[in-house]
Structure 1
Amino acid sequence: MRVGLISDVHANRPALDAVLEAMPDVDALVHAGDVVGYGPFPSDVIERFRDEGIVSIQGNHDRAVLGTFHDNFHRIPKTAAQWTTERLTDDELAYLDALPVERELAGGRLKVVHGAPGNPNTYTYPEDFSADLLGEESVLAVGHTHLQAKASFDAGTVVNPGSVGLPRDGDWRAAYAVVDLDAGTVDLRRVEYPRKETQEALAANDLPEVLIDGLEHGELVFGRAKRSVDDSVE
């Protein structure tokens, strides 16, 4: 079974479109949380998820759009979340609300979480990848940090496919992964997309200017997901 693995789309429709166009033939499309938040195309992205049958879990920004802000939720993503809430229909909000926090798929061979198993708001950085994170699954997929990485152990593989909509690893290109559960392989990939379209939409909707710069450079000045940065930045 081959799975197209994505995460942290953050309402960036042009980036999602590019990833789906570049994606090879797979048996399922799976998303590790944060469908919306930050980006200017929340309704379009939810519609695309539904049309493509993308299996998703709920990320912390999805919960923020529903009105649940965890401790130390930064004012910039909070502003974007509130903007998003005002623009989504009741049906679209219900879609986000119905997403589970974790999923086990492919007969338990693939587990998908946003932060860490049992801790959805916890950052699991690449240096935190270890066999201890794995349960019965052969592949554990995480998101949240926006840092593309993988590590293999005797017990299985831990992978973050990176962020589709707002990478934070210094590479602005949309990130994704292709997982072959039968062969036991994980292939990390990137694809260019028309980021100017997203940047112009951010500006037109008066969303925080720092997000425009973040898309340009593949980093957020106010919140790089690294140990040296205050973990209060989300």
Structure 2
Amino acid sequence: MRLGLLSDVHGNRIALEAVLDDMPPVDGLVCAGDVVGYNPWPAECVAALRERSVPTVQGNHDRAVATGSATGFNPMALAGVEHARTSLDENALAWLGGLPERRTVADGRVAVVHGHPDDPDHYTRRREFSGGLVARAADRLGVDEGDLDALVLGHTHVQHHGVFPEGAVVNPGSVGQPRDGDPRAAYAVLDVDAREVEERRVEYDTDAVADAVADAGLPERIGSRLAEGR
């Protein structure tokens, strides 16, 4: 079984379309959260995942948009939340609000969280990647550790993976706002049976997004940082 792994789309329709167009043949998609926030197209990105019935977990921006509570968000993040709340209809807001913090896919073989199995807001850096994360996910989900082949997470916007005896741990990177110095949209493909991960990047028109950010009245830095991968 092959899964296309997405995370941190952040309302960037142009980047999401580039990723979906570039996606090789897979048996399904999964999203590790933060469908909305920052960029100008929250409704289009929510619709794209809903139309494809993509299993998704709730990121911190998804939660903030659904609840209207963005405590601790910086001005750029707060502007993105406010833009999304005025752009989304009640059904889209309810969908975001109903997303789980953690779930399994692929017949229970892959766990999906946003930040960390124990804390959806924790930034799990690459130095923390270990098989112990798979064990924590199994414990939090109430499943047998031996049934999991992989853990998928996001939140850091930095693409990385590791394969351990307990299973693979994958951060596919950010579709809509990479922060690893590479401006190309990031995603990954997981071969569940082989526990193999292919990290993938695809170019998209960051200038067009920056123009749309300005047209939407969002902070200019939201758009300009995309060309830097920051």
- TM value normalised by structure 2: 0.92
Q: In the alignment, is the contact (CA less than 8 A) between 2:104 and 2:112 conserved in 1?
A: yes
Give 3-state SS (helix, strand or coil) of 2:5's partner.
Answer: strand
| Pairs within 5 Å for 1:1-234 | 1-67=1-67, 69=69, 72-135=72-135, 136=145, 137-219=148-230
What letter matches 1:177 in structure 2?
Answer: A
CA-to-aligned-CA distance 1:142-189 (integer Å, 9 cap, x gap) = 100000001111111111000000000000000000001112211100
- Measure how far apart 1:123 and its partner are: 0.5
Shift of the alpha carbon at 1:81? Answer: 0.2
Q: Aligned partners of 2:7 and 2:206: how far apart in 1?
A: 17
1:71 deviation in Å? Answer: 5.1
- What amino acid is aligned across from residue 15 of structure 1 in structure 2? A
CA distance in 1, matches of 2:229, 2:154: 16
Q: After superposing the two structures, state which structure 1 stretch, 173-182 or 128-137, moved more.
A: 128-137
Aligned to 1:224: none
- Note the C-alpha offset of 1:75: 2.6
Q: Is the 8 A contact 1:177 1:186 kept in 2?
A: yes
Segments of 5+ residues of structure 2 without an aligned counterpart are 136-144
Q: Which has a greater percent of helix?
A: 2
* 1:72 CA drift (Å): 2.6
Question: Which residue of structure 2 lines up, in the alignment, with residue 228 of structure 1?
Answer: none
Given residue 100 of structure 2, which amino acid in structure 1 is its aligned partner?
P
Identity %: 48
What number of residue pairs does the alignment pair up?
Answer: 219
Alpha-carbon separation, structure 2, partners of 1:69 and 1:150: 32
* Structure 1 residues 69 and 130: alpha-carbon distance in aligned structure 2, compared to 1, 3 A threshold: farther
Query: Quick one: distance in 2 between partners of 1:68 and 1:145?
Result: 22
Aligned partners of 1:92, 1:188: CA distance in 2, in Å?
30
Question: Which sits farther off after the overlay, 209-218 or 33-42?
Answer: 209-218
SS in 1 for 2:209: helix
Contact 1:64 1:78 in 2 (8 A): no
Distance 1:36 1:195, change over 3 A: same
State the match for 1:226 in structure 2: none
Structure 2 counterpart of 1:53, which letter?
S
Where 1:40 maps in the other structure, the secondary structure is coil
SS at match of 1:38: coil
Other structure's SS at 1:111 match: strand
Query: Does the Cα contact within 8 Å between 1:8 and 1:35 map onto a contact in 2?
Result: yes
Indicate if the aligned counterparts of 1:101 and 1:114 stay in contact, CA closer than 8 A. yes
Does structure 1 retain, via aligned residues, the 8 Å contact 2:15–2:204?
A: yes
Q: Counterpart amino acid of 2:216?
A: N
Secondary structure at the residue paired with 1:93?
helix
